Structure 1
Amino acid sequence: MIIDKETIEKMAHLSRLELDESSEEKMRKSMNEIVDWVAKLEEVDTEGVEPLTHMTDEQSVFRNDEAARTLSHEDGLKNAPKRDEDFFRVPKVLD
């Protein structure tokens, strides 16, 4: 696949980019280099290689998210500046 001037102009239009002639040429050259590099990857023998879902075998170091009561309802409300029975009272923010 070769990236030509028309392709660059169409991609610039879709991306809402305004490119001058020199920028279009630089972009065309860069994109052709990328396409050539990807084409080289097709030459690699991948027979018998399992597809990867992640690049590493690392496991999550975070703990499981398990619900637990850490603060009672009354303890949560006892330092509230204002409260209305079981709820915090806060200043009105919308009219």
Structure 2
Amino acid sequence: MEITKDTIKHVATLSRLAFNEEELGKFTDQMGSIINMADQLSEVDTEGVEETVQVVDRDTVFREDKPEHWQGQNRETLMANVPEKANGYIKVPVIINKDEDE
């Protein structure tokens, strides 16, 4: 698979990233190398090799997912450090515009 600057521009647009020409060239070369390496892996003879699902004999340990309650002073500290706020909430930039073409 050939990776071109247009491919990288398309992925950047989907990811909401912007690259200058130098970065486009760099990422085009790097992504091309990664894809070529993956292509080489598809040529490896794995006939007779047992499938591996997990290489470490250990259960994954998760912590209990429970919310931490904010005390008033922590919220005030948080809000004092945000760049934009509106009506007591943190204001973030629009990521997906419904009017935009895909």
Is the structural similarity TM-score above 0.5? yes
SS in 2 for 1:41: helix
Q: Distance in 1 between matches of 2:24 and 2:11?
A: 10
Query: Per-residue displacement from partner, 1:11-59 (whole Å, max 9, x unpaired)?
Result: 0001111100000000000000001111111121101222221122x13
Please tell me the residue identity of whatever aligns with 1:3: I
Tell me the TM-score normalized by structure 1.
0.58
Greater radius of gyration (CA): 1
* Aligned residue pairs, count: 62
Matches of 1:61 and 1:21 in 2, distance apart?
43
CA distance 1:59–1:4, change in 2 (3 Å): same
Unmatched segments (≥5 aa) in structure 2 = 62-71, 73-102
| Structure 1 unaligned blocks of 5 or more | 63-92
Q: Which has the higher contact order (CA 8 A, sep 6+)?
A: 2
Q: Match of 1:49, as an amino acid? A: V
